């Protein structure tokens, strides 16, 4: 029996139930609604565990999980894991609600900044750069750059959330995603500069007033401007738009 369960101390859940809950957590956005956001998906995720409760407890749990809930979808597994553990320990619906409300805002901010604002941009620019070079597998490169990180956060976050309960926040804190966000954004700007050089070289038309300036010099200038912009604190999105505008002008 010990090999078929996961947990610490006297609190444990069958591995099969944990796997069901984890897999269901991947679909939490499927029933997203504008009134209570991810509440239906969260409730659907918890059903394998709720089936083991007595009817009265099921009613209280459903009423709790159907309240408004919304955070970054990749971090929902960590929240679900913590709630599963707390309910196993006998915590009331009020206590689990407090935990969900406490973490969903910070998790959303961290996840949006890292995954949407940094990693997705880095993966997309890398794939576009390869596509410009004629690589047919460029879309696959995007998936290989982007998917492993969020899959790891989902899976490890769920099991760490279940193992640690209320202390699962220390797992997310230990990832230090805000620091990684800055580094990935810096790498994204480097790739954007390289992409600008590639586009400028392919679409460059010599100007009549400066026929001696080669396209590569213009591309190098764009790269240096990107570095200067990030050091001056200019938003990466503005640098991206400016680079696109320059490339459009050079392609005329």
Report whether pLDDT(48) > 70.
yes
- State the angle between helix axes of 76-88 and 138-164 in degrees (0 to 180), rounded to the nearest 10: 20
CB 104 within 8 A of CB 38: no
- Cα 187 to its chain centre, rounded Å, is 17
Q: Name the residue among 124, 121, 102, 103 with its Cα closest to residue 113.
A: 121
Q: What is the pLDDT of residue 216?
A: 58
**Mean predicted confidence (pLDDT) in 127-140:** 83
Instruction: Output 175-182 pairs: Cβ under 8 A, ≥24 positions apart.
Output: 177/110, 177/111, 177/113, 177/114, 178/110, 178/113, 178/114, 180/114, 180/118, 181/113, 181/114, 181/117, 181/118
State how far the Cα of 193 lies from the Cα of 224, in Å rounded to an integer: 8
**Dihedral sign computed on CA atoms, order 112, 117, 118, 120:** positive
- Give me the residues paired with residue 11 across strands: 8
Q: Tell me which residue of 105, 146, 94 sits closest to 125, measured CA to CA.
A: 146
Task: Tell me the C-alpha distance between 250 and 131, whole Å.
Answer: 20
pLDDT at 79: 92
Q: What pLDDT shows up at residue 2?
A: 43
pLDDT of residue 51: 83
What is the reported pLDDT for 201? 64
Give percent of the chain with pLDDT exceeding 90: 19
* Residue 209 clears pLDDT 50, i.e. is over it: no
Q: Which residues of 128-162 are buried (b: 16+ CB within 10 A; e: fewer)?
A: bbbeeeeeeebeebbeebbeebbeebbeebbbbbb
**pLDDT for residue 4 is more than 60:** no
* Termini Cα distance of the chain: 71
Band of pLDDT at residue 16, cut at 50, 70 and 90: confident
> 0.95 exceeded by the pTM?
no
What's the Cα-to-Cα distance from 232 to each of 29, 42, 227, rounded to whole Å?
Answer: 38, 42, 9
Does residue 214 carry a pLDDT above 60? Answer: no
What pLDDT sits at residue 224?
74
């Amino acid at each position: 029996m010990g090999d078929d369960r996961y947990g610490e101390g006297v609190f444990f859940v069958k591995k099969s139930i944990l796997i069901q809950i984890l897999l269901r957590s991947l679909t939490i956005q499927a029933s997203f609604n504008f009134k209570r956001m991810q509440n239906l998906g969260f409730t659907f995720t918890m059903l394998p565990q709720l089936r083991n409760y007595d009817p009265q407890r099921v009613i209280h749990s459903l009423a709790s999980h159907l309240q408004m809930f919304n955070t970054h979808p990749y971090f929902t597994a960590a929240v679900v894991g913590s709630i599963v553990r707390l309910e196993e320990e006998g915590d009331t619906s009020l206590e689990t609600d407090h935990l969900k409300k406490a973490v969903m805002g910070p998790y959303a901010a961290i996840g949006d900044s890292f995954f949407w604002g940094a990693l997705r941009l880095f993966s997309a620019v890398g794939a576009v750069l390869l596509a410009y070079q004629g690589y047919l597998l460029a879309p696959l490169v995007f998936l290989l750059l982007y998917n492993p990180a969020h899959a790891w956060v989902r899976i490890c976050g769920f099991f760490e959330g279940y193992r640690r309960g209320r202390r699962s926040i220390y797992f997310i804190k230990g990832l230090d995603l805000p620091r990684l966000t800055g580094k990935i954004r810096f790498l994204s700007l480097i790739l954007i500069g390289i992409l600008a050089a590639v586009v400028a070289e392919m679409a460059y038309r010599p100007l009549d007033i400066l026929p001696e300036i080669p396209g590569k010099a213009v591309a190098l200038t764009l790269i240096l401007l990107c570095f200067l912009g990030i050091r001056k604190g200019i938003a990466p999105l503005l640098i991206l738009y400016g680079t696109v505008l320059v490339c459009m002008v050079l392609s005329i």
